Amino acid sequence: MKETIDRLRSQGGRLTVQRRLILDILESFSGHPTAEEIYAVAKQKYPKLHLSTVYRTIRWLEQEGRLSARRFEEDNRQERFDYTPSEHHHFQCSICKDVIEFESPLMNEVKKDFEDQKDVLVETASLILYGTCKRCRQLFQQEETPYTGK
């Protein structure tokens, strides 16, 4: 956090109350909030905050490489923001819409494989797996076997 602030400041950015607040929220938020979600939380602590400031802060962080935008299947109208620094991937359950983050060493093989095949340079990878999570699968199986009372 301190590190992020220092780095951003050295880039010429100014550390306003609003930005500090939004950074705090991103830091503590588990999952991938939308701009509106960040705004809703931030507004409680700083009521005169405007949604456009949230967007501007997000775009600033994005440019600095501190955050990335994603769209999941669900409600793909709104962007969701991912503040996690290291490369990772996502799984989204098509039923409950929950997202699981994961790392995959195998993905490096996939990248290398493609690089060799097409003579390109791969810098980043964005992978989203879709399927059914453990809980939803179990619930679904129960429904599939209707209760007969016998």
Partner DNA sequence: ATCGATGCAAAACATTTGCATATTG
Partner DNA sequence: CAATATGCAAATGTTTTGCATCGAT
The binding site for a copy of itself (CB under 8 A) comprises 69, 71, 76, 79, 91, 93-94, 100, 102, 104, 106-107, 109-111, 113-115, 117-134, 137
* Contact of residue 110 among a copy of itself, DNA, none (CB under 5-8 Å per partner type): a copy of itself
What does the DSSP 8-state code read for residue 37?
Answer: H
> Which of 1, 17, 120, 125 touches DNA (CB under 7 A)?
17
CA dist 65 and 85 (Å) reads: 9
Q: How far is the CB of 69 from DNA (least distance, A)?
A: 7
Return the range that interacts with DNA (CB under 7 A); candidates 23-31, 70-78, 89-97, 100-108.
Answer: 70-78
Q: Is 45 in the site for DNA (CB under 7 A)?
A: no
> Which of 9, 45, 97, 137 touches DNA (CB under 7 A)?
9
* Contact of residue 15 among a copy of itself, DNA, none (CB under 5-8 Å per partner type): DNA
CA dist 19 and 61 (Å) reads: 10
Q: Is 46 in the site for DNA (CB under 7 A)?
A: yes
Q: Is 36 in the site for DNA (CB under 7 A)?
A: yes
CA distances in angstroms from 144 to 94, 127, 135, 140, 150, listed in the order given: 17, 31, 14, 6, 16
CA dist 26 and 125 (Å) reads: 22
CA dist 45 and 48 (Å) reads: 9
* Neighbour tally for 96: CB within 10 Å: 13
* Neighbour tally for 139: CB within 10 Å: 14
* Contact of residue 12 among a copy of itself, DNA, none (CB under 5-8 Å per partner type): DNA
